[in-house]
Amino acid sequence: MIRCRISFGTTLSGTALEALERDGFADILASPRLLVINRQAANINITDNSAVGTRVVQSTSALGQTTTEPIYKDIGVVLNVTPAVAGDSLVVMMIKPAVSTARRSPFFPAIAVDPQTRSTETVVMARHNQTIVIGGLHQDNMTEEINRIPLLGHIPLLGYFFSQRSKDIRRTELMVFIPPRIITPENLQSLRKSLNPPPSSRD
């Protein structure tokens, strides 16, 4: 079971997030703006199609030759959101964030990696333009570095005494910020201007 932490705020400062990223405390994966029809699902995929293993394929020809093909899987962050307007200023949202990673397989380290997925699902209610913050999807990334003395470090058995191993474990947490906005005919024009500012304001 994964515990999910949810908090609410009135506004979200993009400047504050950019400052955290600039100082190395955060990494903004994406900041999309989606226009969604009421009660329809919206999907955001920030993934890479990575090779996670190999498979042997036998040819149907008379020679019966075999070839090795990679097995691919989408690795990254997927966010599914389904909003429903519950009143003049209330929005109910079903939110499903998921994070998938790939680690070197301990059983087949030379040919495969093990995909790992962390996900959660929650239903929240928020007011118009009230920011919802969802966290709790932690991930530990471990990197191992081996430094060897030239020649001596590569000697079987004895090379261990001329090598130095270091491990670095970095814990990260995925946080999702969603400020829902209810679109009406009255505020549609102003929304279009904010999404598509004139060229002079982009410089």
- Give the whole-angstrom CA distance, residue 164 versus residue 144: 10
Phi, psi of 67 (to 5 degrees): -130, 155
d(CA 122, CA 7): 12
Return the closest-CA partner of residue 7 out of 194, 185, 170, 136: 136
Phi-psi label, residue 87: left if phi above 0, alpha if psi -120 to 50, beta otherwise: left
pLDDT in tens, the chain (203 residues): 344 555 555 444 566 667 777 777 777 777 888 888 999 999 999 888 887 777 777 776 666 678 888 888 888 889 999 999 998 789 999 999 998 887 776 666 655 567 788 888 999 999 998 988 888 787 776 666 778 888 777 788 777 777 887 777 767 788 888 989 888 877 777 777 766 666 655 55
Q: Give the single-character DSSP code of 130.
A: P
CB atoms within 10 A of CB 113: 19
Domain ranges of the chain: 5-54+68-184
pTM over 0.75: no
